[in-house]
Structure 1
Amino acid sequence: MSERIFITGIGTGVGKTVTAACVTEALQADYWKPVQTGLTEGTDTEVVRSLLTNKQSVCHPEAYCLQEPASPHLAARMEDVTINVKQVLEMAHKIQPAGRPLVIEGAGGLMVPLTEQAFMIDLVQDLEAKVIIVAQNYLGGINHALLTARVLKQSGIPVLGWIFCGNTHSNEAEIIGWSGYPLVGRIPYTPLVDKAFVKEQAEKLSLR
């Protein structure tokens, strides 16, 4: 099976989509967001597509698009939609050509409910993906980061490491040390995220 890299965050709004764009650009990989919620704000797929420079990457359509800006299980319930995890997995196999890496962006963090029975971490395991954890420095961020790292370790899921977004903080070195997972890179705050910024940050990531 070709490599799959799952981008998860320690919470919502920590920089997963920009990170996904940078990782996709760095590897010239394909990109896929299986479940998109909050359609009134546009899709992450549209954002990533607009930020890529290379000509190799393909941004695949979502398996599910839901209007409500909520967890997938809640948005699906509100719209009378049933998310079928088996169909999501089948789609993953269908869209990923042999030999092509696929960057997969999750919704929120690992324990976000995908359905009434399955969580995002269950999808990661079913996809047999390696994980990049996206973190940001905020009050409570250390706790969220280390809880994410612990549940990944306890689940036996392979982790490539951390990407920190936003302003640099000394907590980053401590989180790396306490978790035992390496630093893949950091993406600084910028008021303008564009193709040039994504290409510049992609070249700095330690992924190869």
Structure 2
Amino acid sequence: MAPAFIITGTDTDIGKTVASAIITVGLHGNYWKPIQAGNQEFTDTQMIKQLTGLPDDHFFPESYILSQPLSPHRAAELEGIEIRPETLRVPVSRRPLIIEGAGGLLVPITRNLLQIDLFERWNLPVILCARSGLGTINHTLLSIEALNNRNIKILGLVLIGEKHADNLRTILEYSGINLTGQIPVLEDLGPAALKRAFHSGFNIYDFDINAR
């Protein structure tokens, strides 16, 4: 089985889906969004397909699609849907697999299961996405601390937005984690632009796979 990576964020709406698209196209990998909450008409999976231009066989179907843009536990309750953790099994993939979580680490999946609990069960390396600007030091260090407390491997950090050198330096010095990538504000989100963003902002060898 090819390697798999979990993409998570310090908060919602920080650019995690665009980061997932860049990494998926950069690794020529497969993508899986286990739980989609909101945006039923244009899911994150559909967005990644459009952004990357990859064919359908690079995408696994969601386990749950919920209509409300809320935490999965509440969105499911409002629709009378039971999210069963045993159904959230990582697909077998012959390509590098990119798994995008729903929101941040402590988002409830059910009343008895946080997203970080799910990540701990999967035992896969996590790529933590964060804003580059004001507020990122606190949110990022808290997220790193939560992952370390569960002994979840952190592959590295992806900072999204305009570069702020001291924010980056401070996070890396306090946490000791690796910088996996930096993503600037992108005007063009087409497949070619995403590939350029991967090759200019990431090192493919950090992912421990053969360069393509």
TM-score past 0.5 threshold:
yes
Are 2:125 and 1:133 equivalent residues in the alignment? no
Please, which of 203, 208, 211 is the counterpart of residue 206 of structure 1? 203
Structure with the bigger percentage of strand: 2
Partners of 2:49 and 2:55 within 8 A in 1: no
| Whole-angstrom distance in 2 between the partners of 1:40 and 1:100 | 27
Partners of 1:29 and 1:57 within 8 A in 2: no
1:177 is aligned to: 173
1:67 is aligned to: 67
| Whole-angstrom distance in 2 between the partners of 1:2 and 1:156 | 22
TM-score by length of 1: 0.91
DSSP 3-state at the match of 1:14 = coil
1:191 is aligned to: 187
Aligned-residue Cα RMSD (Å) equals 1.7
| Whole-angstrom distance in 2 between the partners of 1:38 and 1:177 | 37
Are 2:138 and 1:146 equivalent residues in the alignment? no
TM-score by length of 2: 0.89
1:76 is aligned to: 76
Q: Which runs of 5+ in 2 are unaligned?
A: 206-212
| Whole-angstrom distance in 2 between the partners of 1:55 and 1:24 | 12
Are 2:115 and 1:120 equivalent residues in the alignment? yes
Q: Deviations over 1:159-207 (max 9, x none)?
A: 1101111111120121112111111110100233221221111223123
Q: Aligned pairs, how many? A: 203
Q: Which moved more, 1:181-190 or 1:198-207?
A: 198-207
DSSP 3-state at the match of 2:164 = coil
Matches within 5 A, 1:19-168: 19-40=19-40, 42-53=42-53, 58-89=58-89, 92=90, 95-97=91-93, 99-168=94-163
| Whole-angstrom distance in 2 between the partners of 1:159 and 1:49 | 26
Partners of 2:133 and 2:164 within 8 A in 1: no
Q: State the percentage of identical aligned residues.
A: 38
Q: Deviations over 1:49-72 (max 9, x none)?
A: 112255696111100000100110
Structure 1 residue 116 displacement after superposition? 0.6
Q: Which runs of 5+ in 1 are unaligned?
A: none
Partners of 2:33 and 2:100 within 8 A in 1: yes
DSSP 3-state at the match of 2:6 = strand
Q: Which amino acid aligns with 1:42?
A: F
Q: Which amino acid aligns with 1:4?
A: A
